Amino acid sequence: MTPIETALESLKLQDIPNITQTAREYNCDRTTLSRRFRNVTVSRQVAIENSKLMTEAQSKTLIKYINRLTDRAFPPTPATVRNL
């Protein structure tokens, strides 16, 4: 776990969350910790995943399907792939 994730877990366990104190304890930026705790922002990894049009599983399934069509001598055109 990253220091931010550990700090967020610690904040969730506190009766009265003290963001400044927790940021000092876990050596992370107070502003970032505050924004993440209030769900104003998310981690870069989560943001990148949310911005993609397809999940990894969907992408792999589409690639397998395209490969099967190609093996059967019917490679799909870009327009066909868009319609899938």
Tell me the CA end-to-end span of the chain in Å, nearest whole number.
Answer: 38
Question: Do residue 45 and residue 56 come from a single domain?
Answer: no
- Count the domains in the chain: 2
Phi and psi of 72, rounded to 5°?
A: -90, 15
**Which residue is associated with the tokens 């930026």?**
29
Q: What is the pTM of this model?
A: 0.60
Query: So what's the pLDDT on residue 83?
Result: 84
Domain that residue 21 falls in: 3-49
pLDDT in tens, the chain (84 residues): 889 999 999 999 999 999 999 999 999 999 999 999 999 988 888 888 888 888 889 999 999 999 999 999 988 888 888 887
Query: So what's the pLDDT on residue 1?
Result: 84
Question: Do residue 12 and residue 45 come from a single domain?
Answer: yes
Question: Do residue 7 and residue 45 come from a single domain?
Answer: yes
Query: So what's the pLDDT on residue 23?
Result: 96
The DSSP code sequence of 18-77 is -HHHHHHHTT--HHHHHHHHTTS---HHHHHHHH-SS-HHHHHHHHHHHHHHHHTT-PPP
Question: Do residue 43 and residue 56 come from a single domain?
Answer: no
Question: Do residue 16 and residue 40 come from a single domain?
Answer: yes
